[in-house]
Homo-oligomer: A and B are copies of this chain.
Amino acid sequence: MARRAASGERRARGSRTGRPIMVLLDLLGRRWSLRILWELRDEPLTSRALRAACDEASPTVLQARLSELREARFVELGDGGGYGLTTLGRELCETFMPLHRFAERWNVSSPSLRLRGEGESPRRR
């Protein structure tokens, strides 16, 4: 159920079915989404502090992600400025905490994984 049906099917980013898990995976799979939630996990941050925490990512994307995250009700702009997690957002973040421990155990042995685009397919063009 909950299909858009009218106004022409669109195809994009694997959320076509509208299953909540797909929508969520899609949303979290956008650039900086996970990072933003992660950086907000402890305390609210102003947009600029958040930007600083995210390696000075461009405000354009950050603002776009923030809008989406706010629309998803994971993040809110508190009174007096500063972005923070909502109760829902905090629950989501809790879900990710095990990821931290996992990452530590994982401990990336492959150096070419650290930065995008290095050590991938030998690109012959």
Contacts and interface: CB of A to CB of B under 8 A. Distances in A.
A63 B120 CA distance: 10
Given A14-B35, A20-B106, A25-B38, 15 more contacts: A5-B118, A11-B56, A14-B32, A18-B108, A22-B35, A24-B99, A24-B108, A27-B113, A29-B29, A64-B121, A71-B113, A72-B106, A72-B113, A73-B110, A95-B99
Contacts of A100: 21
Interface residues of A, number: 67
Contact of A29 (B23, B30, B72, B114): B30
Interface string A91-117: 110010011101110111011111111
